[in-house]
Chain A
Amino acid sequence: MSVDLEHYLMVGAILFAIGLYLALAKRNFVGVLMGIELMFNAANLTLIAFSRFVESESPIDGHVFVVFVVTVAAAEAAVALAIAVLLYRVRDTVDVDKANLLKW
């Protein structure tokens, strides 16, 4: 029994699906953000797995890409959570269904 690329890709696919479910179905803004962070993790896991297993001239590039993704994810989390706090201050709720000011 051995662990191959496909095993890691399957873990990434399941993790991405759970994150997608959270982002689509959760009522709380913070719950949606948790789903987005899980999707970032799933994508990073597949990048690292490809970097380890697949033929490449410079396999370390996958790791560099993951470092950039983590940087952007941290920036995104900071701004999105600031928006959550502002939404709560303005509308007294973090329910994404009730943030419908732009709904026609």
Chain B
Amino acid sequence: MEDTGTVVAFWALAIITIGSAFMVAAVRNLIHAVVFLVLSFLGVAGLYITLSADFVGVVQILIYSGAIAILVIFAIVLTPQAGRDNAETSMRLPAVVLSGLVATMLGYASIDTNWSISDRPGFEETASAIGVALLDKYILPFEIAAALMLVAMLGAIIIVRDEGTEGAAED
């Protein structure tokens, strides 16, 4: 991808994504961390669109910057006495070393490997192709994912259900 617009978009989105991910680790307030997390998700969505993945980019904005961010904010406001502190445990230094090593290893492997790059152009549009693949080649994983969503929803409801108020409602 050589055209100037794509190059500028890539570098701007990469800086937004990594900068906000870094800020999630750096800020002291959890609510501020969620705001930077949403910004990082939006940057990743932009990177998807520079890779001509339009459907996945929209899914990213809907599910990650929408639904999952709201879930995280709910979890923060439902635990009020726990504080908004975004502090580290005593394992901070080993975590820095380990994640640095992982980044070095993944970066080295991605540069060192000789990928079989294809010169095909970007996708025209992906939604219909993904839909056909989901209902044809990947029909069984699709059905299992539907069952998984149902089980996860029921599980979340049963986990947080307050036993005391349920008994009171039956009386």
Contacts and interface: CB of A to CB of B under 8 A. Distances in A.
Interface string B55-92: 11001100110011001101110110110011111011
Nearest to B134: A64
Interface in B112-171: 115-118, 120, 122-123, 126, 129-130, 133-134, 137-138, 141, 145, 148-149, 151-153, 155-157, 159-160, 162
A70 B64 contact: yes
Interface in A32-83: 33-34, 37-38, 41, 44-45, 48-49, 51-56, 58-61, 63-64, 66-68, 70-79, 81-83
Nearest to A74: B63
Contact of B152 (A8, A63, A66, A78): A78
A4 B157 CA distance: 44
Given A30-B30, A74-B67, A11 B47 contact: yes
Contacts of A53: 115, 117-118
B91 A24 contact: yes
Contact of B148 (A30, A52, A72): A72
Interface residues of A, number: 78
Most chain A CB atoms below 10 A, which of B37, B120, B162? B37
Tell me what chain A mostly uses at the interface: helix, strand, loop, or mixed: helix
B25 A79 contact: no
B160 to A, nearest CB: 5
A56 B118 CA distance: 8
B100 A17 contact: yes
Contact of B10 (A7, A9, A64): A7
Interface of B: 1-2, 6-7, 10, 14, 17-18, 21-22, 24-25, 30, 33-34, 37, 40-41, 44, 47-48, 50-53, 55-56, 59-60, 63-64, 67-68, 71-72, 74-76, 78-79, 81-82, 85-89, 91-92, 94-96, 98-100, 102-103, 106-107, 110-111, 115-118, 120, 122-123, 126, 129-130, 133-134, 137-138, 141, 145, 148-149, 151-153, 155-157, 159-160, 162
